[in-house]
Amino acid sequence: MATELDSALRVVVVDDSTHLRSRLTHALGDLDGVNIVGEAEHAAGGLHQIMTHRPDLLVVDLRMPGGGGLQVLEELRRRDSGPAILVLTNYPYAAYRRRCAELGARWFFDKATELSKVKQVVLEFADETRRRNSDPVLKQVNDV
């Protein structure tokens, strides 16, 4: 029998800012139906967390020392699988936005002006995922 934790949206947060990563994990982890399953401060650590925990959602910083969000998105694209992706950045340039979309990012937010949108987007995605997973027909399609 599935528990509430089993049906929760599984999230990994990757950001080099310890302060922001902590704020995000607490804010998102407090949401109903959301479970933070991993966090990392760089791309390699983020990829490890993704492979270990198989999250439904990745929240990732675009630019970090030692490789950023683009590196993570490129690797996930090579593997042809992975979580939904929400990119956060202090560099909200159109070229980055386009490249992230090309690599599969579903959301792209400016940390300075759009950080407040993250909680609502995650809540909506958690609800969408819960509905999809509770529908036997959609679940069967997702499991294929």
Distance CA 50, CA 43 (A): 10
pLDDT digits (tens, 9 = 90+) for 59-103: 999 999 888 899 999 999 998 778 999 999 999 999 999 999 999
Q: What is the pTM of this model?
A: 0.89
Taking the C-alpha atoms of residue 61 and residue 108, their distance in angstroms, rounded to an integer, is: 10
Alpha carbons 52 and 57: distance in angstroms, whole number? 14
What are the φ and ψ backbone dihedral angles of 93, each rounded to 5 degrees?
A: -75, 150
Selected residue with higher pLDDT from 9 and 130: 9
Write out the H or E segment, with its range, that includes residue 137: helix 136-143
Domains of the chain: 4-143 (3.40.50.2300)
